[in-house]
Amino acid sequence: MVREAIEVNSISILPDLCTGCQSCEMICSLSHEGVFNPEYSRIQIKKWPGIVVYIPIVCQHCEDAPCITICPTGARRRVAKTRVVITDPKWCVGCKSCIYACPYGAPVIHPEVKKTMTCDLCDGKPLCTEICTVGALSYTFDGKFSIERKMAFAPKIIPSQRFR
Amino acid sequence: MNGWTGRRLRVDLSSQKFWVEEIPRDDLERFIGGRGLNAKFFNENPPWSVSVFSPESPVAFSVAPLSGTLAPCSGWTSISAYSPLFYPPRYVHVSMPGHWGPYLKFAGFDQLILSGKAENPIYIAIEDKRVRFEDARLLWGKDVLETTVSIQEQKEGRNGEVLCIGPAGENLVRFANVTNRLSWTGDHVGLGFIFGSKNLKALVVRGRKPVTLSQPDRFLQLCNFLRESIQRNRNASLLREEGPFFFLGSNGGGLGIKNYTETSDQSQEERWRIEFLKKYLYGREGCFSCPIHCGRVSLVNENYFGGVHFESTWSLGPRIGIFDMESTLRLVRFCQLQGLDPSSFGSLVSWLMDCCDQGILSTRDIGVSCQWGDEETTVRLIEWIAAGKEASEIFRHGCLMAAKTLGKGLELVPHSCGSDLPARDPRSSTEYALTRALFPDEWDYLQSSIERHPVASSGRNGFFENVSLQENLKILADINSMCPLVVGRLQLVSDSDVAQLLSAATGIAQDSQKIEAAICRAVQIERTLVGKAEGQKGDPLPLRFFRNPLEKSSFEEQIKGYHVRMESEGPSKQGGF
């Protein structure tokens, strides 16, 4: 059997760099809905002001997407070419099952239409990753994110290898 | 309507009623928003007989068409009120950074006017043009952190922004402030006192109203261009790396140590800056839609907190004789939690310490003896003052009033026209001292430094022109809810940039002249509002900052000269108001 590696790009999040400025929410709501409001954005920042933590949450286009499995109408589906998971508004009935199924509740309910919407990676150039000036959001192939996190951690054990 | 929402929310706490008014289109076009809209409102609704405790005393919060958009650094809010910090109260405007203002826009309003007094402690929840008055008796007494977390986690959810007071405001401390997200405060107007006197614990705003634009593509193009040019700017990069600590040492020294008995030199300031950045800086925080993120997050004793800048650390550091950054940060955090402005509090404590040091005051007068660098006593003072304990009665009103009540130490009070002096020593530069005396309510570090202004320092203009230019840049930022650091001090966004953004947002053609006219109108109304307050404005700068009385007279003559020129040549002729 021939096995072929598939490289998939996705938005990688580094929450320790997020400053909570909400620029990503603004560009997302403007580019997709033509207006500004964080509740119209497919990327949402969750805030813990008491300990100054800001965590961006956005659809990660899971390989085994539970939202696709649970969707009763087939509105949640994967675009074969780009492997992006989207909601087809023609079929979505707004039952919110995808939100319950998602491990971190990424789908957002559109405030007017009342159907869910998720990140569509902006046709291959996600604007939120371009507008983020602190590097909390980047658009990388999935392997690179794993390497980056390893490289962020590895130096912490260097002292035990060299400076005993 | 694009850009603006065109609506003003009026809330009466006495009757627990609210209603929505349309803001006349003409007002929006002529005053734009923020500071200008506030000035217009107060001019049309002048409570001339207002007393500090009068529940009718209104508070106005305003934003601008660029608020709640991707326009860089557009997250500021204008707050205006008759400030209880002065006797009699006078009109004061302050701008507050952070995230609260854009959420007022998302709720569907350009302006919020609060009046009246609630019978019992309440908080107000504004959500999409609906206003709820919620019981806050269980929140009363909680510090700012507990209040924000309780409201967000137990009642309103994390999607809203909370603006609340701490125990200091509840106990009617005059220099108490309001806090948003624990990092951004509305200071210098006594807003904590005003909220406390109205039995208002917090204002929570959340909204799903979309902010629409006339030309979204053009607007986005302008935003991207401005954001990129800000990114490339060297000063902006330094501000991003070091936060407001970047200003330490950059003016060549000149902050007040130990109630201005000494002045810092450049190396002292740099040591202070480096100590914070190396040992206690944990991360960064940003205001709404800001590409710079100058907010500093500190880590001290397992506590993470934002809102640390050089003004607050210096005021609770060298200004009161403490040279250890860790002690300072502990004090700053404690102060912030109680809802006390660290800068004003530092001013009070430095005065107390100076008086005790010189034998003017003793334990008998004030109930406690504080010497320079006494952290323990400072902590006790914070507790006393915030809790409104009896022994602290004289301090609740600020150090000028305390000095007048005690009848001692008046000559040592660090103030300008009744406003506490910021960290910078007025003796560091005459131009700075004059600016301080002319605009005592402004945060110093937000103002363009006259010495570094490209036009002002060229020598082509005189003092009057330079100071007017400086203040106009600040007002340009304030009427557009933009960051005065970026627009005024670093001048990364010009009036023509703002004009283009406004045109694309609102669909109404704007140019530099129209914006200048809006600035002039705001200035003229504010001068009228402040001028009509009874009583004198106060001593521009105490005698001890001068070498001799003659120098002080000459200083006061220059101030008078500025006001005379303002009357004859100032905005009244250009604004057409």
Q: What is the CATH number of the domain that holds A84?
A: 3.30.70.20
User: Does residue B241 lie within any of the structural domains?
Assistant: yes
Looking at the structure, tell me whether residues A126 and A53 fall in a common domain: yes
Q: Look at A52 and B159 and tell me if their CB atoms are within 8 Å.
A: no
Chain B CB within 8 Å of residue A140 CB: no
C-beta separation of B103 from B126 below 8 A: no
User: Does residue A133 lie within any of the structural domains?
Assistant: yes
Q: Look at A36 and B99 and tell me if their CB atoms are within 8 Å.
A: no
Q: Which residue has the tokens 């934003």?
A: B63
Q: How far is B187 from chain A (nearest CA, A)?
A: 19
- Reduced to 3 states (helix: H, G, I; strand: E, B; else coil), residue B392 is helix
CATH number at residue B184: 3.60.9.10
C-beta separation of B37 from B113 below 8 A: no
Q: How far is B183 from chain A (nearest CA, A)?
A: 8
User: What tokens appear for B300 in the block?
Assistant: 């001290």
Q: Look at A19 and B289 and tell me if their CB atoms are within 8 Å.
A: no
Angstrom distances, CA of residue B386 to CA of B4, B167, B170, B177, B540: 39, 6, 8, 11, 29
DSSP E strand stretches across B266-319: 281-285, 295-300, 303-305
Q: Which residue has the tokens 């949450």?
A: A57
Angstrom distances, CA of residue A51 to CA of B137, B178, B299, B300, B521: 25, 18, 10, 12, 42
The model carries a pTM of 0.91
User: Does residue A4 lie within any of the structural domains?
Assistant: no
pLDDT digit string, tens, across residues B138-193: 999 999 999 999 999 888 888 889 999 999 999 999 899 999 988 888 887 789 99
C-beta separation of A107 from A59 below 8 A: yes
Phi, psi angle pair for B437, to nearest 5°: -70, -30
Chain A positions in Cβ-Cβ contact with residue B156 (cut-off 8 Å) = none
Chain A positions in Cβ-Cβ contact with residue B297 (cut-off 8 Å) = 52
Looking at the structure, tell me whether residues B199 and B128 fall in a common domain: yes
C-beta separation of B215 from B507 below 8 A: yes
Looking at the structure, tell me whether residues A128 and A112 fall in a common domain: no
C-beta separation of B206 from B160 below 8 A: yes
Number of domains in chain A: 2
| B245/B313 Cα distance (integer angstroms) | 10
Looking at the structure, tell me whether residues A114 and A102 fall in a common domain: yes
* DSSP secondary structure code for residue B284 in this structure: E
Q: Look at A23 and B181 and tell me if their CB atoms are within 8 Å.
A: no
- Reduced to 3 states (helix: H, G, I; strand: E, B; else coil), residue A88 is coil
Looking at the structure, tell me whether residues A77 and A44 fall in a common domain: no
| B1/B25 Cα distance (integer angstroms) | 10
- Orientation of helix B325-338 relative to helix B375-387, angle to 10°: 0
Looking at the structure, tell me whether residues B460 and B352 fall in a common domain: no
| B25/A19 Cα distance (integer angstroms) | 36
**Which residues of B lie closer than 8 Å to A, measured between beta carbons?**
68-70, 99, 106, 145, 148-149, 152, 158-159, 181-183, 207-213, 216, 220, 227, 231, 283-293, 295, 297, 304-306
Task: Please report, in tens digits, the pLDDT of each residue of chain B (577 residues total).
Answer: 899 999 999 999 999 999 999 999 999 999 999 999 999 999 888 765 556 567 778 999 999 999 999 999 999 999 999 888 887 788 889 999 999 999 999 999 999 999 999 999 999 999 987 899 999 999 999 999 999 999 998 888 888 899 999 999 999 998 999 999 888 888 877 899 999 999 999 999 999 999 999 999 999 999 999 999 999 999 899 999 988 888 887 666 688 999 999 998 888 888 999 999 899 999 899 999 999 999 999 999 888 888 888 889 999 999 999 999 999 999 999 999 999 999 999 999 999 999 999 999 888 877 788 899 999 999 998 988 888 766 567 888 888 888 988 888 999 999 888 888 888 888 888 888 888 888 887 776 666 555 555 554 555 567 777 778 888 888 999 999 999 989 988 889 999 999 999 999 999 988 889 999 999 999 888 888 877 543 346 788 888 998 888 888 998 888 888 888 887 876 544 433 3
| B211/A30 Cα distance (integer angstroms) | 9
Domain final residue, candidates B415, B436, B457: B415
| A50/A20 Cα distance (integer angstroms) | 13
Q: Look at B293 and A134 and tell me if their CB atoms are within 8 Å.
A: yes
Which residue is closest to A47 within chain B, CA to CA?
B158
**In terms of residue numbers, what domain contains A84?**
59-118
- Reduced to 3 states (helix: H, G, I; strand: E, B; else coil), residue A55 is strand
Looking at the structure, tell me whether residues B382 and B460 fall in a common domain: no
| B368/A99 Cα distance (integer angstroms) | 59
Looking at the structure, tell me whether residues B403 and B274 fall in a common domain: yes
Nearest CB to B210 within list A27, A36, A134: A36
Looking at the structure, tell me whether residues A21 and A94 fall in a common domain: no
H or E segment at B574? helix B571-575
Q: Which residue has the tokens 């009026």?
A: B10
**In terms of residue numbers, what domain contains B311?**
235-415
- Reduced to 3 states (helix: H, G, I; strand: E, B; else coil), residue B223 is helix
- Reduced to 3 states (helix: H, G, I; strand: E, B; else coil), residue B496 is helix
Q: Which residue has the tokens 């003052």?
A: B385
Looking at the structure, tell me whether residues B202 and B151 fall in a common domain: yes
Angstrom distances, CA of residue A121 to CA of A1, A7, A80, B69: 32, 15, 14, 21
pLDDT digit string, tens, across residues B464-476: 777 788 888 889 9
The residue count of chain A comes to 164
Looking at the structure, tell me whether residues A152 and A140 fall in a common domain: yes
Looking at the structure, tell me whether residues B378 and B274 fall in a common domain: yes
Q: Look at B287 and A21 and tell me if their CB atoms are within 8 Å.
A: yes
Given phi > 0 = left and psi -120 to 50 = alpha, else beta, which region is B379? alpha
End-to-end CA distance of chain B: 24
Number of domains in chain B: 3
- Reduced to 3 states (helix: H, G, I; strand: E, B; else coil), residue B518 is helix
Q: How far is A44 from chain B (nearest CA, A)?
A: 10
- Reduced to 3 states (helix: H, G, I; strand: E, B; else coil), residue B133 is strand
Q: Look at B293 and A16 and tell me if their CB atoms are within 8 Å.
A: no
Q: How far is B59 from chain A (nearest CA, A)?
A: 25
Q: What is the CA radius of gyration of chain B?
A: 22
Beta bridge partners of B262: B257
Q: How far is A51 from chain B (nearest CA, A)?
A: 5
Looking at the structure, tell me whether residues B404 and B443 fall in a common domain: no
Looking at the structure, tell me whether residues B239 and B367 fall in a common domain: yes
Chain A positions in Cβ-Cβ contact with residue B293 (cut-off 8 Å) = 19, 21, 133-134
Q: Look at A23 and B295 and tell me if their CB atoms are within 8 Å.
A: no
B50-B55-B58 Cα angle (round to 5): 70
Nearest CB to B285 within list A19, A27, A29: A19
For chain B, helix (H) and strand (E) counts, in that order, are 22, 19
Looking at the structure, tell me whether residues A46 and A126 fall in a common domain: yes
| B450/B470 Cα distance (integer angstroms) | 7
Chain B positions in Cβ-Cβ contact with residue A47 (cut-off 8 Å) = 158, 181
Nearest CB to B284 within list A19, A39, A111: A19
Looking at the structure, tell me whether residues A99 and A144 fall in a common domain: no
The residues in A 22-41 lying below 8 A from B, measured between CB atoms, are: 22-23, 26-27, 29-31, 33-40
C-beta separation of B316 from B331 below 8 A: yes
User: Does residue A3 lie within any of the structural domains?
Assistant: no
